[in-house]
Structure 1
Amino acid sequence: MTTAPTVITPPSAVRAAKSAVWTLLASSLLIKAAGFAWDFLGYYVADGLGYGTTAAGAALTAFGLGWCAGLASAGALTDRLGQRAGLSLVMALSSLACFALAIAESFPVLLLVSFFLGMTMEIHRPAVSAQINSTIESEAARTRAQSWLYWASNVGIAICAAAGGYLAQHYSYKALFIVNGLACLGFAAVAYRVLAPRIATDSVDVPALTYRQVFADSSLRWIAVAAVCGMTCAWGLVSVLPLLMADDGLPPTSYGLAMLANTITVLALTPPLTRLLVGSGDIPRYPLVPILTCGCAILGLGISLAALQHTTIGYAAAAALLVPGEIAFSVALGAYISTHAPRNASGRYQAVLSGATAVASLPPLGIALALNTGGRPLVATLLIGSALIAVAACRPLARALRDTQQAHARPLPSAAP
């Protein structure tokens, strides 16, 4: 697998590029904080329109299917067109999907809009991740920046739930979706303003890898398995939790309080835990596999306990318990992207791991059916089982990473005399 050649860049351009990274990280947080169409899709279908939890699960599943398709396209678009064109285009499309959700009411139309909303809602991440990898030289610094990208996403989601729960109860879901669409348009404008256009010769000098070449990397395949199963537990905050709380008859404000507990814990624990796991040097302090293993185990424990709760306090405590797992999981995935993804394919690598989140968003329909047939114990069993699969996948992942390192360290054979 080839990597991009080193390019000498003027110091002023380097400073501008790093400034663009932090602007994009802040924009990622804000777009998630205004991501009401994503966070409240389940509540809108089940409660706002009165279709019930099974219909909400179907809408969330359609959203997840669209998410998978959209991320694959976004990764390829980012690697081929560059971060500026790719990010501006996809965020403009995302705004259209939000506006469509604000006027959709019939269930078939809702399923269609949910699919297209999923296609556009998370596709900014490959471009932001590619900008980080192409700008920051130090492995540890890239890992920290990639971890902050996940942190921004998690904090934004929690802020969205806390604020959106209040606004939905006192105003309307449709108004939230319009705000979401306007935020997407703002992100598109910011990306076009702060990112440099793609250099025309890049596509010739550094050919982009195809998804077939990317998936030839066995470590990517194994970390994708772990990411899908781990994110099934983490995604439970915005997919499983609303279904469970709606089943208990709790209002959106209770969901907002649970997510507020998650947000406060994230804000308190992210800086010290990231510093502990990554360190302050140029090389990450700990290997990524043990961090990923611990993160997936904590996520499984937290979300399975959440499945057994019935009160706002219980859900809030479980949401807070998930946070160390979220941080460790984010650091591990950030370390993988920053240390292993080739720079001419970082968009596709990030799209694969973000796609794991999309695949993890598919189970809500199954969770809704499990809730109706086997109750809370069955839901908890399914979630803890997903976490155990993620933990098991970490062993072959470690072996694949070790084989890759040995292959890179092996000297080339000398030429024959």
Structure 2
Amino acid sequence: MVITALLATTFLVKACGFAYDFLGYSISAAHGTTAAGAALTLFGVGWCVGQLASGAMTDRLGARSACTIGLLLAAAVCAGLTVASGLNTLMLLAFCLGCTMDVHRPAVSAQINERLTNDGARTRAQGWVYWVSNVGISLSGGVGGFVAQAHGYRFLFALNAVASVAAALLVRRTLTGRRAAPRAEQAHVTYAQIISDARLRWMVAAAIAATTCAYGLISVLPLVMSADGLAPSAYGTAMLANSAAVLLLSPPLTRLLVGRDDRVRYPIGPVLAAGSLILGAAMALAALQHTIVGYATAAVLMVPGEICYSVAAGAFVATAAPAGAIGRYQAALSVAGAIASLTPLAVAGALTAGGRPLVAGLLVASAVLGALACVPLSRTLRTADTADTAEPAGHRPVPY
């Protein structure tokens, strides 16, 4: 019941996450593409800050408190977007939105790992979180594009605020107030200690490169489509195409990657590397398009890469994070996505300096760097597996 409620909360937040999806479109329409890129970059900075704070809050205060506080703050920021018009105010709100919009993610991950003791079950549940997130993001962009064209961006931001309040109430009703881990464990776990885990360092490096391409769907795509003069409904069409592909391709591809025991059939490193390369190729193709059909096709082609990344990231969190630090391990991966979201200003600059070929080249380079980072990642994971095998039964070593 609790896991189902957490998945429902994740889906609600992502499916109604109109503020991030259309913040760039809204600011671009009023203040230009460069201002939109700057606002989305500030969102990414806020995302980094918010994820680090949320991970620490989850491990110290518990998932219920961290999730509720963050979602209510997100609702307040979205409400502010419904009335703000000045560029400086919008920039401040973009930063605050980043701090709060994805604050639930470390808490959800921590609850899954706390309540499920089997690594296979954890991997399956973490994979479901990434899956519902992908579907929700696609639906948000798809439905939101048509709603924005009919009712405007401020109406979308108001819907986002209402959904955040509803999600906070759902979390408050479903989760208990207990801490994510005993205080004795929490007292000895810090971000400095977490960073000492070589597995996490290489995982974050690979994730930054891969998600730079993945988040192009909601950062690069709006900018290049705006430059083509396409309406928000065109962006909605591309996102709906991505959502449909996620729904159709996730079951067979997940069965290919995950065995009957809910464990990944292949090593995490190669799966993540394949996902990074697919995402880079698809988004590079998107950067070179000028038609709705072209953008929609690229959005569909990136789906196998999204699935590979989701499976690899879910398996990593489920098996690598020690007790008392689950929230911060997930926060570290979320920060990787936040860092990747800092690209809009660079994309806007690249469009001005070298046009779409330069943007495409940068996306491909990022994908290749992500695949290369998977080589040392695989090596550190094999070393850790060897150490685990050498430990007495029932002992799970902490990697710092």
TM bucket, shorter chain: over 0.9
SS at the partner of 1:343? coil
Answer yes or no: is the 8 Å Cα contact 1:138–1:283 preserved in 2.
no
TM-score (norm 2): 0.96
User: Is 1:98–2:57 an aligned residue pair?
Assistant: no
Distance 2:315 2:131 in 1: 14
* 1:332 corresponds to which of 291, 309, 312: 312
Q: Which has the larger radius of gyration?
A: 1
Deviation of 1:407 after TM superposition, in Å, equals 2.6
Q: 2:158 aligns with which of 173, 178, 192?
A: 178
The residue aligned with 1:342 is: 322
The 2-side partners of 1:340 and 1:372 are apart by: 42
What CA distance in whole angstroms lies between the structure 2 residues aligned with 1:153 and 1:175?
22
Change over 3 Å in CA distance of 1:208–1:116 after alignment to 2: farther
Matched, 1:408 2:388: yes
Q: Which runs of 5+ in 1 are unaligned?
A: 1-18, 413-417
Which has the larger displacement, 112-121 or 81-90? 81-90
Please, which of 138, 141, 147 is the counterpart of residue 161 of structure 1? 141
Q: Does 1:107 align with 2:92?
A: no
Report the RMSD for the aligned CA atoms in angstroms. 1.4
Please tell me the residue identity of whatever aligns with 2:36: A
Number of residue pairs the alignment of both structures matches: 392
User: Which of 248, 264, 272 is the matching residue for 1:284?
Assistant: 264
Q: Deviations over 1:98-126 (max 9, x none)?
A: 11111111111111110000000011000
CA distance in 1, matches of 2:8, 2:181: 30
Q: Does 1:385 find its partner at 2:351? A: no
Among residues 337, 345, 359, which one is paired with 1:365 in the alignment? 345
Give the counterpart of 2:14 among 32, 51, 66.
Answer: 32
In structure 1, what is the Cα distance between the partners aligned to 2:93 and 2:245?
33
Q: Are positions 1:311 and 2:284 aligned together?
A: no
Structure 1 position 172, deviation (Å): 1.4
- Distance in 2 between the 1:352 and 1:331 partners? 17
- Whether the 8 Å contact between 2:225 and 2:290 is mirrored in structure 1 is yes
Aligned counterparts of 1:198 and 1:139: Cα–Cα separation in 2? 22
* Structure 2 stretches lacking a partner, 5+ long: 393-400
How many angstroms does 1:404 deviate by? 1.6
Report Cα offsets for 1:184-216 as digits up to 9, x if no partner.
Answer: 111111111001111599213654511011110
Structure 2 CA distance, aligned partners of 1:263 and 1:369? 29
TM-score relative to the length of structure 1: 0.92
Deviates more, 1:267-276 or 1:118-127: 267-276
Dislocated runs of 4+, deviation >4 Å: none
Partner of 1:354: 334
The code of the aligned residue for 2:134 comes to N
Whether contact under 8 Å (2:16, 2:136) holds in the other structure is yes
Distance in 2 separating the partners of 1:278 and 1:288: 11
CA separation of 1:282 and 1:32: change in aligned 2, threshold 3 A = closer
Is contact 2:110-2:180 (8 Å) kept? no
Tell me by how many angstroms 1:282 deviates: 5.2
Name the structure 2 match of 1:10. none
Q: Work out whether residues 84 and 196 of structure 1, in 8 Å CA contact, stay in contact via their aligned partners in 2.
A: yes
Q: Is the 8 A contact 1:140 1:279 kept in 2?
A: no
